[in-house]
Amino acid sequence: MQKMPKLLVIVGPTSSGKSSLAVELAREFNGEIISADSRQVYKGLDIGSGKITKREMKGVPHHLLDEMSPHRTFTAHDFVTRSKRAIAQINGRDKLPIIVGGTGFYIDALVGRVALSSVPINAMLRKKLDKMSAEQLFFMLKKQDARRAKTIDKNNKRRLVRAIETVATLGRVPDIKGLRNHYFDVLWIGISRPKQELKKRIRARMRARMKVGMIKEAIKLHKQGLSYKRMESFGLEYRSLAMYLQKKLNRKELEEKIVRDSVHYAKRQITYWNRNHDIKWFKPSQIRELEKRVRTFVGTSK
């Protein structure tokens, strides 16, 4: 039987330090990084999405950044297709593919822990749902499938619509229980930080992004034709920025909303990943133990 290619996956809540850890591990273990982030894949969504800079990459090749115009839609299916292509290329260079990002569904779809729903698009239902607010859609999903509502981004209308569409056909969004990875030999690494420390990091990150021009980035995107409705669909920072530019929030309210939404998002991410018992969680202080585990994993392929 042919050996499955090795894949290192690094997960954790927003602001936990996944990107910098991935770079250091890539430098140590001859790896290349594939971003699993549903917003960093878009061109121009740089500061607000926390996209890694060239300087921060430290020469490590990164894939699936700036792949698509923000006017178009990037799906989980797109992620799986492009990631598998990138993994094959990285393996061809005899290097270690490292997946890092906060979009859990993308990663689970890639490794086969979730099945991408084959439910067809329901145009009539979507027309009705598109007229509803994210809050209304989330309330509807919560009534129809409380389990999925616990892990979904409640401000992401696109995902909410798709979830409701799936429930309308299947009765519920398919669970990961019983599914197994048949594609890769995966080592799951999670980065864990105390709640209060994580909140401080989220606030510090928000201030840093403001300082380097997050509002100006949103203004530029809108001038380039990105509607406020589309900007809001990206959630988190961009949703708040769209509201601010429409004068629905003042500067203080903008900053507090970004922090509050990011903290809630981190909680949902943790809830999602806690269902995966293959993840070995490490604190930043346990970097040596973490590196030892990766070294053992990589060494078994030699």
Annotated domain spans of the chain: 118-173, 196-264
How does pLDDT run across 280-289, given as a tens digit for each residue? 999 999 999 9
pTM of the model: 0.82
Average pLDDT for 192-208? 96
Fold of 196-264: Helix Hairpins (1.10.287)
How does pLDDT run across 27-53, given as a tens digit for each residue? 999 999 999 999 999 999 999 999 999
Band (pLDDT 50/70/90 cuts) for residue 174 is: low
- What pLDDT does residue 178 have? 47
State phi, psi for 160 to the nearest 5 degrees: -65, -45
The average confidence (pLDDT) of the chain is 90
Fold of 118-173: Histone, subunit A (1.10.20)
In sequence order, the β-bridge partners of residue 32 are 97
How does pLDDT run across 251-262, given as a tens digit for each residue? 999 999 999 999
